[in-house]
A and B are shown apart, each in its own frame.
Chain A
Amino acid sequence: MRARVLIRPKAGILDPQGQAVERALPALGFSGVSAVHVGRLVELDVDDATQLPSMCERLLANPLVEDYEIIENA
Chain B
Amino acid sequence: MKFGVIRFPGTCDDVDAQLAAARVGEAELLWHGDRDLKGVDAVVVPGGFSYGDYLRAGAIARFAPVMESVIEFANDGGLVLGICNGFQILCEAGLLPGALLDNESLKFVFRQVQMDVVDRNTPFTRNCPPTLSIPVKHMSGRYYSPEPVQVVLRYAAGHNPNGSQDDIAGVVNIAGNVFGLMPHPEHAVDPLTGSEDGLTIFESIRAAVDERVRVA
User: Can you list 30 contacts pairing A with B, beta carbon distance less than 8 Å?
Assistant: A13-B101, A13-B144, A14-B101, A14-B104, A14-B142, A14-B163, A16-B102, A16-B103, A16-B104, A16-B105, A16-B106, A16-B163, A17-B106, A20-B106, A40-B55, A59-B55, A59-B59, A59-B63, A60-B55, A62-B56, A62-B59, A62-B92, A62-B99, A64-B98, A64-B99, A64-B144, A64-B145, A64-B146, A65-B99, A65-B101
How far does the Cβ of B150 sit from chain A's closest Cβ, in whole Å? Answer: 17
How far does the Cβ of A21 sit from chain B's closest Cβ, in whole Å? Answer: 11
Separation of A17 and B163 alpha carbons in the complex (Å): 14
Bits for B46-64, please: 1 = Cβ < 8 Å to A, else 0. 0000000001100100010
Separation of A46 and B98 alpha carbons in the complex (Å): 30
Of chain B, the residue at the smallest CB distance from A38 is: B102
How far does the Cβ of B94 sit from chain A's closest Cβ, in whole Å? Answer: 10
Of chain B, the residue at the smallest CB distance from A9 is: B101
Interface size on B, as a range, is: 10 to 19
Separation of A17 and B101 alpha carbons in the complex (Å): 11
Separation of A13 and B145 alpha carbons in the complex (Å): 10
The A/B interface has a contact count, at CB < 8 Å, of: 32
Contacts of B98 in A (CB 8 A): 64
Separation of A17 and B144 alpha carbons in the complex (Å): 16
How far does the Cβ of B140 sit from chain A's closest Cβ, in whole Å? Answer: 11
Separation of A65 and B144 alpha carbons in the complex (Å): 8
Q: Is the CB of B102 within 8 A of A17?
A: yes
Please give me the 9 A-B residue pairs with the lowest Cβ-Cβ distance, nearest first: A65-B99, A16-B106, A64-B99, A16-B104, A62-B99, A20-B106, A62-B56, A16-B102, A65-B144
How far does the Cβ of B59 sit from chain A's closest Cβ, in whole Å? Answer: 6
Most chain B Cβ neighbours within 10 Å, of A20, A40, A64? A64
Of chain B, the residue at the smallest CB distance from A58 is: B63
